[in-house]
Amino acid sequence: MNIAAEVTAAQADARAFWEGVAQAHVAPSARQIDRDSAVPEAVMAALREAGAFASGFPEAFGGPAGSQSDPVGAALAHGAMHEALGKASASVQGVVNVHHMGGSALARWGSKAQKAQWGPRLTSGETRCAIAITESEVGSDATAVRTRAVADGDGWVVNGEKAWITCGASADLFVLIAASDDGPVALLLPSDAPGLTIAPIPDMLGCRGYAMARLLLDDVRFPADALLGKPGFGVTYVASTGLDSGRYNLAWGCVGLAEACRQAALAYVQRREQFGQPIGEFQLVQQLVARMTTDIHAARLMCQSAGVARGQRAMTAAKEATMAKYFASTMVNRVAKDAQQLHGASGIGPETPLEMYFRDARIMEVIEGTTQILEIMIAKFSYQERPA
């Protein structure tokens, strides 16, 4: 396997996706998405046409041709797509990401019947998926969820509430994590299920196109075939699969958002003049440019390493995805802050997208595991690897 060639091919894929889809169809709508807190159907159609919803899934599930024979290349190409989306719109990257999170759990743990029913609909983008773990009083400790599933005949009855669910107001299918007498369970929840009320959460700080919502479940009945995996598998297996996918994708999305900040800053400092010269000629400005350029490059390399590990199904894959998300999410906040600082007053006004980038970047240290939770996870990975 020639890893350098795989990386080069993924970079070419990213450029092609940027030029053909992200730049042409997503980026022009970014400000509208931020204003309206919704992704236009024209953007979703362009993503479906480009195969964005199939990317990242196994070929047998409906993923891209060749992904089974070249899993490293598929993982890198998938990440590169998320970088391009993050550069165009952090909201759209998040919408595609959460679709992959829920879908990855289904692709890994679903029965043959579940995969046959949902696979074609998910990979075509006909059905949009999301994952519902978080609750008002339960975040990173998914084992503590209070939403409860009670066995009822050969099915389940569920009551409870989920909060801060990305795409909660727009998804068609949720992978729901609930507590039960047999341990945490994962259940497939259609958005039109009787007893389910979806309450949108407006006015988010950033990534407003995420269509965040609360899910209120009042005696929602699930048939036996709605169970994903086995009772007790809900957190350790099903949710972990979705979260691992989400961290990998989001790390790439952070690289894309940071690159959008950097490109805006580079253009500005080379045209903005003070004291008779472009401000880009001043040493302190160059220091900020150097720092953001190096930071982005380092984060991209971490994402590529995580992609190789993911494609190889290496034992270190989860650790590498966690570290990539940790570094990239903190990095994009530094870059957004520096880029905004370089713009001065215009960086906090409506004339440039910097204020939107700044708000979107802030979200990245919260979702798919806060910075502090990821630090704990990385430390535990380190302890496990310590030589005897």
DSSP 121-154: HHHHTSS-EEEE--BTTBSS-GGG---EEEEETT
Which of these is catalytic: 83, 259, 368, 385? Answer: 368
The CATH number that applies at residue 16 is 1.10.540.10
Considering the domain architecture, whether residues 279 and 375 belong to the same structural domain is answered as yes
3-class state of residue 158 by DSSP: strand
Considering the domain architecture, whether residues 249 and 268 belong to the same structural domain is answered as yes
Considering the domain architecture, whether residues 240 and 341 belong to the same structural domain is answered as yes
Percent of the chain with pLDDT over 90: 86
pLDDT of res. 95: 97
Considering the domain architecture, whether residues 215 and 260 belong to the same structural domain is answered as no
273 is catalytic: no
pLDDT of res. 11: 79
End residue of a domain, out of 212, 230, 248 = 230
Residue 5: pLDDT band with limits 50, 70, 90: confident
Considering the domain architecture, whether residues 240 and 372 belong to the same structural domain is answered as yes
7 against 100, higher pLDDT? 100
The CATH number that applies at residue 155 is 2.40.110.10
Residues in contact with 282: Cβ distance below 8 Å, sequence separation at least 6, in sequence order:
none
pLDDT of res. 139: 66
pLDDT of res. 6: 80
Distance CA 145, CA 217 (A): 14
Mean pLDDT of the chain: 94
3-class state of residue 205 by DSSP: coil
The CATH number that applies at residue 377 is 1.20.140.10
Considering the domain architecture, whether residues 41 and 26 belong to the same structural domain is answered as yes
Considering the domain architecture, whether residues 293 and 379 belong to the same structural domain is answered as yes
Q: How confident is the model over 266-320, as pLDDT tens digits?
A: 999 999 989 999 999 999 999 999 999 999 999 999 999 999 999 999 999 999 9
Identify the domain containing residue 366 by its residue range.
Answer: 235-385
- 2 pLDDT higher than 80: no
> What mean pLDDT do residues 209-230 have?
96
Closest C-alpha to 246, from 381, 105, 72, 47: 105
- 265 pLDDT higher than 80: yes
End residue of a domain, out of 171, 202, 230 = 230
pLDDT of res. 1: 62
pLDDT of res. 332: 98
> What mean pLDDT do residues 89-113 have?
97
What is the DSSP secondary-structure string of 163-198?
Answer: EEETTTTT-SEEEEEEB-TTS-EEEEEETT-TTEEE
pLDDT of res. 13: 76
Considering the domain architecture, whether residues 48 and 180 belong to the same structural domain is answered as no
Number of structural domains in the chain: 3
Considering the domain architecture, whether residues 301 and 320 belong to the same structural domain is answered as yes
pLDDT of res. 65: 87
- 16 pLDDT higher than 90: no
Considering the domain architecture, whether residues 309 and 334 belong to the same structural domain is answered as yes
pLDDT of res. 9: 81
> What mean pLDDT do residues 222-232 have?
94
- 388 pLDDT higher than 60: no
Distance CA 347, CA 356 (A): 9
Considering the domain architecture, whether residues 175 and 215 belong to the same structural domain is answered as yes
Q: How confident is the model over 125-170, as pLDDT tens digits?
A: 999 999 999 998 876 677 788 999 999 988 999 999 999 999 999 9
Percent of the chain with pLDDT over 70: 98
Report pTM: 0.94
Neighbours of 248 (CB within 10 A): 32
> What mean pLDDT do residues 29-53 have?
96
Considering the domain architecture, whether residues 207 and 325 belong to the same structural domain is answered as no
| Least trusted range by pLDDT, from 165-169, 172-176, 232-236 | 232-236
- Beta bridge partners, 131, equal 175
Question: CA dihedral defined by 376, 241, 57, 361, rounded to 10 degrees?
Answer: -30
End residue of a domain, out of 127, 156, 187 = 127
